[in-house]
Amino acid sequence: MNQTHDHVDFLVIGSGLAGLVFALKSASMGRVLVLSKTRLELSNTEKAQGGIAAVMKDDPDDSLEKHTQDTLIAGAGLCNETVVRHVVSQASDRIRDLQDWGVHFDLDEHHNIALAREGGHSARRVLHIEDHTGHDVHRQLLARALENPNIELRDHHFAVELIGRRDVEPGCFGQNQCLGAYVLDKKTNEVYVQTAGHTILATGGAGKVYLYTSNWEGATGDGIAMAHQLGARVTNMEFMQFHPTCLYHSSSRNFLISEALRGEGGELINHKGEAFMPKYHALGSLAPRDIVARSIDAEMKKSGADCVFLDMTHKPGEFLRGRFPQIYKRCLDLGIDIATAPIPVVPAAHYLCGGVMTDIHGRTDIQNLFAVGETACTGLHGANRLASNSLLECLVFSHNAAYWIREHNPILASANRSYQAKFPIPNWAERRNRNESRGGQNEDELILVSHMWDEIRRLMWAYVGIVRTNRRLERAKRRLANILQEFDEYYSSFQTNADIIELRNIATVADLTVRCALARKESRGIHFSLDYPST
């Protein structure tokens, strides 16, 4: 049975940092509903180790201009400089927001905020909480949201499809408008209609499109796929950043080894123990991520080795245990004492610099639809994200979106309710033009869905990875076309469930990535093509 839930002023899809900041900033304006497709605690934010890049106002050794230039250089000429300057200038105020919400960053011996340096940065400007910054920030904001009477949080609720005015009102012309979303309650396996004055996509990135990734299991590009389906522009999908140092171990395939270790003097070495990064870039192991990832890839191909190593043995064990307790413990549990042995590492899909195109307020092409965080392409990152600018982006654009709504005082509940009264929104079964059986499904057929998922991730890793060629991309395009055709058959005949929706989303995002990569006839930032090696 389909249900329709009460209308809310703000529907936030995703419970990571971007979604929670928007919820906290907008709760005074109306009812906020935050959806998480699994547990509320799980997101890419929770896995973020390094920290937040911000020039604090009283720092004599850094400046907004330095942070701006570092971001522009890392972005390889594709950053929107106006956006970069806007974000950098807000950083200290957004850090103050976190502190006001109860976040406590590490302090140095003088009781000032401790600052780390990461790849591509010309100064120490990364605020952190040991090596689990994202975890602590996320838990603190989640606790605040749970305490707020105007914010409702629902776990295990998966947004299946956005509802557009054009889907509801026959003959509607002009700009499309988002009225809310169809939502799968994973506890009952029922899909209900959730309407909203404004819908905010904060679903994070798409690292699970690749076989090897540092991302959490839910990073399947859901918001990007849904926005694309509704007609919003999607851009720069070819720029998937591969983090250079993911732990290489059979028992730990997506554990990140933070860039902050290289900021503390960690040296990348090959299987012979030789430091190889100085021959690729003047900054050595602190070069921008795209260069480090390609350099590691080249070293591995040259030697045939399965990995390279990050050497931290120059630092005493006491320092490593205090500064990087999570990384130290995880490695030790796997038999690696990083104080006495180098860490085996490989690159892995990490951060998507493209996404749903937005303006500086997080607005998309679709009226009343916003995108924030890694789901969005704001112009900040260009062709390669500067380390620790991602959490900053979440803070700034979620703030901007809530501020824009407050300042422009749009009609929230009444506008969409008037459409619903005149043009009722069909339930999910009507939307799909068939009955949704509540019975069991053919398990053999569901296994094929799992195989399609695995095939997409493997072909993306093999053909759309760190180094690309037209031939590989064309192969990926053909194979994805077949997979998408097969998927359409499954989607039209199966009862809606989370696995099938996630498969649809990663297939859509993979296809968009390949199409964007084929369209770029150059190498730039993260996107490196052997057919077009010049920028």
Cα 171 from Cα 166, distance rounded (Å)? 7
Helix-helix angle 133-147:390-408, to 10 degrees: 30
Cα 326 from Cα 130, distance rounded (Å)? 8
Task: Please name the helix (run of DSSP H) or strand (run of DSSP E) that holds residue 380, with its range, or none.
Answer: none
> Can you read off the two tokens belonging to residue 403?
């501020």
Catalytic residues: 289
Q: Which amino acid is at 96?
A: R
Task: Please name the helix (run of DSSP H) or strand (run of DSSP E) that holds residue 428, with its range, or none.
Answer: helix 428-431
Cα 22 from Cα 169, distance rounded (Å)? 29
Do 131 and 145 touch, CB atoms closer than 8 A?
no
Length of the chain: 535
Q: In 10 A of CB 342, how many CB atoms? A: 18
C-alpha distance across the termini of the chain, in Å = 55
DSSP letters, 153-201, are EESSEEEEEEEEHHHHSTT--SS-BEEEEEEEETTTTEEEEEEEEEEEE
For 198-214, give one letter per residue: b (16+ CB within 10 A) or e. Answer: bbbbbbbbbbbbbbbbb
Cα 346 from Cα 429, distance rounded (Å)? 45
Q: In 10 A of CB 9, how many CB atoms? A: 19
Do 11 and 34 touch, CB atoms closer than 8 A?
no
Determine the 3-state secondary structure of 300 from DSSP.
helix
Determine the 3-state secondary structure of 209 from DSSP.
helix
Q: Give all strands (DSSP E) within 362-420, no chain letters.
A: 369-371, 376-377
Determine the 3-state secondary structure of 531 from DSSP.
coil
> Can you read off the two tokens belonging to residue 410?
């749009």
Alpha-helical regions (H) of 75-177: 81-100, 133-147, 165-168
- With tokens 């949080």, the residue in question is 153
Environment class of residue 166 by beta-carbon count within 10 Å: exposed (0-12), middle (13-18) or buried (19+)?
A: middle
Q: Can you give the C-alpha Rg of the chain in angstroms? A: 23
DSSP 131: T
DSSP letters, 27-40, are GGGS-EEEE-SS-T
Environment class of residue 6 by beta-carbon count within 10 Å: exposed (0-12), middle (13-18) or buried (19+)?
A: exposed
